[in-house]
Structure 1
Amino acid sequence: MSVIYPPVYAHLWPDGGNYYLNKLYSIENLKSELKDPDSRYYFVEYNEETIGILKVVLNCSIPGGDNRPMVKLHRIYLSPEIQGKGLGKQLLNWIEEKFCKDPRTPLWLEVMDSQEKAIRFYENCGFIKAGTFSFDDLMMKAVYRGMFRMIKEV
């Protein structure tokens, strides 16, 4: 993540993202997240090289929505050099096939409202905006805290 995250997101943080990386991707936090039986964490490999991460959370309803069991795409980060090659779409298809087998199990995610390229990608994959909220980490520059929740009925 120290290679993948900064080129795209360093501008969000006064310290270039070091605080966030150390908080979210520490060994301690990873161990804590892996204790959740509904959490699935993956490394994304391409040409025998790790080029990203993927985290899915099962049985995770969208806040403010109905209480159906849903699947949350909690994290998907791919190396900037690999973006645009169709891997993101392949990963979404894999998530849908593996975790959203029941047609009543929607897939949802959160995306920064300033990440227009990501929003267009998700919309092109069938997601629709389902709400807004503010990312509450005070270390992030306030102008970038706006978020969308997006959902796809698979």
Structure 2
Amino acid sequence: MEFTTSKMTDNYAIEILKWKYEKPYDLYNNVLSGEAIMELTSSSYKAILLNDEVVGFYCTGKDAQVPAGNEVGAYSRDCMDIGLGMKPDLTGKGLGTPFFGFILQDICEESSKCLRLTVADFNKRAIRLYENFGFVIEKEFWRGDMQFNVMIKG
């Protein structure tokens, strides 16, 4: 399985924005709009391809943060924030480890800072994956009625 990254294009962004996740993961569903396309095509996003097909994406920096976390100082430590998504029909099929490993390898070529990601507390399979890569929960916060965990490595 050979993942590659590509600059996020309008076509990749449109495809990603059309992805629909089943409950309870529907939190990650997006709305296809010009604003959403502009966000995904910003320089912080990369498309992840497998056999020339978009299978995921990741972003770094402020785009990877949940804004409500700023209100409680969740992002005060100087770390590289990571956000990511995998195509819905590929989730839960054992691809998480190679997919996330690829992202970490790609990011570590860019930065030697500690790594940080924010994940919804209900997403136990993602939390387990991140823990397997050495991430630990550093802080928790709420956005409305949803709890988020901020996880750190390094």
**In which range does the TM-score fall when normalised by the shorter chain?**
0.5 to 0.7
Where do 1:51-130 residues align within 5 Å?
A: 51-57=55-61, 63=70, 64=73, 67-73=76-82, 75-83=83-91, 84-85=94-95, 86-98=98-110, 100-101=111-112, 105-130=113-138
Count of matched residue positions in the alignment of Structure 1 and Structure 2: 128
Report the residue type matching 1:54 in the other structure: Y
Deviations 1:24-51 (A, max 9, x none): x53214425766xxx5111110011011
TM-score by length of 1: 0.68
Match of 2:151 in 1: 150
5+ residue gaps, structure 1: 137-141
Q: 1:150 to 1:3 in 2, by over 3 A?
A: same
Match of 1:21 in 2: 30
- The answer to whether the 8 Å contact 1:40/1:56 transfers is yes
Report the residue type matching 2:151 in the other structure: M
Deviations 1:87-130 (A, max 9, x none): 221112221222x23xxx11101001111110010011111101
- The structure where helix makes up a greater share of residues is 2
Rounded Cα–Cα distance in structure 2 between residues aligned with 1:57 and 1:77:
15
Percentage of identical aligned residues: 25
Q: How much has 1:52 moved relative to structure 2?
A: 1.2
- The answer to whether the 8 Å contact 2:74/2:150 transfers is no
Q: How much has 1:3 moved relative to structure 2?
A: 5.0
- The answer to whether the 8 Å contact 2:57/2:86 transfers is yes
Where do 1:134-145 residues align within 5 Å?
A: 134-136=142-144, 142=145, 145=146
- The answer to whether the 8 Å contact 1:132/1:149 transfers is yes
TM-score by length of 2: 0.68
Match of 1:6 in 2: 21
